[in-house]
Structure 1
């Protein structure tokens, strides 16, 4: 609609939603570079969208539409390892697996034959004999209760066709025996044209965008925004670290991620200058910029006088109020340590008028720390 042109501050919103840069470099045409099937630019290209598309995305973000998950769950080396993985995703013959050729497979023997084909292609193209994965396994899912298994499966099949049809073989299986349905997608790393599939962070983001786009095309409110676009600056603890911690725990040892963070926080508290690290300062500046983009959009919408715009402006305000503080885990823990150290002093500090110090059993109004 022409009357809505120019309402949203597109440049600042596009910067707030900017996907991770880069992706897998193309070396002599030897590597696949993922291109999105939905909104946003290709790897390394800026996002571009109009007012209507930006408003729809803004509504999904601030009203907290479910975020899709696309993650690399593992790598398989050689025919035997690939066949074992196929057996796992097929629940050893209990589930059907769909191939990139549209074949629905239930026989373990057929799965082993495909695993052998993938391994033979990889070995034939491996000129230097380096150890490298024959396949990569991905998991595609949505938060529990946000979509039904059939829709998820259909969107995952479309996702696989868009990204890999005509280039890489893949096998796809739906699992419904957990808290929420998810799809296992196994992709042959060696392509029919000699290109390797080896996604990086930016590629995975574009894959998330593609999957979210296919879900929305099927009536599911789904988003794929970077964590920073939702105000999160603390890095997520990666699955390999969690799995290693669990494995060491079973052996009577621990990786002790919490202890490592505690040591870093204690070191910060004991430091003479207590300066923030460069990445902490950058995280604070980045979130300030992102907050500013949403606040600018809220003001612009509130000024149109339209009920729908006013409601969205209020939703943005609530989204900003719920945004987490821009501090790392180390700084968050250091703040807790410092506050705990100050509380006993606050309780016993004599009052200015000579009366007894404050007692935590007596209500005292607002906390000094706030």
Structure 2
């Protein structure tokens, strides 16, 4: 074992450990099962615990920049009308077939509305206030085979929720990144509500990546700090709004961008300080780099050629990511540049010599 007693430390650097919330959580037992891998989420006998080879393979995929899977919640649909409009949208008004959990294809708007009514039937007396379904998106970078992506999403959904929640899915190839819209019925067979949180999404990412790798597609699911990335992703609504601004369809900046710009300007002028999470992010990346360096040293000591090559890749990965940049860092850099430009424009002109009469023109220069 190349990592020995440091294996757990390396795993902690690459895979987060979540703790269930114990306050204000009506599904605390469900959450504990999810986080601890017990109950309905217990690993089968065919899924052994992670080994040193698993840690080595994950480390190799991280430092060699294996594509990361993306799993997002794009919205929660309330009531049959809202859900029916969403199913009609992801089905591209009948042009893209919807596939159910049982593999049945839905191609008509009437069938989609029937599903929306069935999923919302138990909630008829509080339509519009209770979530009928949760909409999710699974995507991979350009160049990935779309059919393989769809099969991997189906496997991940069947593994994570297939025994309790109904769902429909639709494959979209209208962008460079093949992606699958997965819409999950909120109420399960056991009356538990499907309300994915950060921990759930990470489990979905891991299941999606494993399903892709089993089909010959390189994929990984790790947190941003594992890869030295400090910028978080944005919501679908904010991404679409920014796209409208860039295209000229809208000239009004988003409230989030305005707020970040104001905060960055206050920091640049010395009237405020960076938020605490910025320094915490840097500290976490420093600790992660330390663990990676320790792993590289242990790989060097094994004497194996492949291990030494991986150790070299790990050190190059660390060197290329000496620091980590967050969104406030980028906004602050832009604000400081604006401050410097403004100071340069308003810099007072050099005072004339006292012996020169007022009104005397300045001497000629070579600049024109």
TM range (shorter): 0.7 to 0.9
Q: 1:113 to 1:256 in 2, by over 3 A?
A: closer
What's the offset of the Cα at 1:286?
0.7
Residues in 2 aligned to 1:5 and 1:304: alpha-carbon distance in whole angstroms: 6
Q: 1:96 to 1:104 in 2, by over 3 A?
A: same
Q: Which runs of 5+ in 1 are unaligned?
A: 345-370
What's the offset of the Cα at 1:180?
2.5
1:264 aligns with 263
1:325 aligns with 323
Q: C-alpha offsets along residues 65-115 of structure 1, whole Å, 9 cap, x if unaligned?
A: 110011111222211221221112222222221111222222322221111
Superposition RMSD in Å: 3.2
Q: 1:87 to 1:13 in 2, by over 3 A?
A: same
Are 1:83 and 2:84 matched, yes or no?
Answer: yes
1:167 aligns with 164
2:141 aligns with 143
Q: 1:74 to 1:256 in 2, by over 3 A?
A: closer
What's the offset of the Cα at 1:21?
2.3
Are 1:186 and 2:183 matched, yes or no?
Answer: yes
Residues in 2 aligned to 1:276 and 1:189: alpha-carbon distance in whole angstroms: 39
DSSP-derived class of the 1:9 partner: helix
Q: 1:106 to 1:13 in 2, by over 3 A?
A: same
1:18 aligns with 15
Contact 2:68 2:221 in 1 (8 A): yes
Residues in 1 aligned to 2:91 and 2:225: alpha-carbon distance in whole angstroms: 36
What's the offset of the Cα at 1:121?
2.8
Which stretch shifts more, 255-264 or 59-68? Answer: 255-264
Structure number with the higher helix fraction is: 2
Residues in 1 aligned to 2:177 and 2:319: alpha-carbon distance in whole angstroms: 30
Name the structure, 1 or 2, with higher relative contact order (CA <8 Å, separation 6+). Answer: 1
Question: Counterparts in 2 of 1:293-332, with a 5 A limit?
Answer: 293-323=291-321, 325-332=323-330
Are 1:54 and 2:58 matched, yes or no?
Answer: no
Residues in 2 aligned to 1:148 and 1:297: alpha-carbon distance in whole angstroms: 34
1:359 aligns with none
Are 1:116 and 2:117 matched, yes or no?
Answer: yes
Contact 2:139 2:179 in 1 (8 A): yes
2:355 aligns with none
Bigger CA radius of gyration: 2
What's the offset of the Cα at 1:177?
2.3
Q: 1:23 to 1:185 in 2, by over 3 A?
A: farther
Q: Which runs of 5+ in 2 are unaligned?
A: 43-48, 345-368
DSSP-derived class of the 2:92 partner: coil
Question: Counterparts in 2 of 1:233-272, with a 5 A limit?
Answer: 233-245=230-242, 250-255=249-254, 257-271=256-270
Residues in 1 aligned to 2:28 and 2:331: alpha-carbon distance in whole angstroms: 47
Contact 2:278 2:326 in 1 (8 A): yes
213, 238, 242: which one aligns with 1:216: 213
Q: C-alpha offsets along residues 212-238 of structure 1, whole Å, 9 cap, x if unaligned?
A: 111111111110001111112233333
DSSP-derived class of the 1:310 partner: helix
Q: How many residues align?
A: 329
1:99 aligns with 100
Q: 1:338 to 1:184 in 2, by over 3 A?
A: closer
Contact 2:230 2:327 in 1 (8 A): no
Contact 2:146 2:173 in 1 (8 A): yes
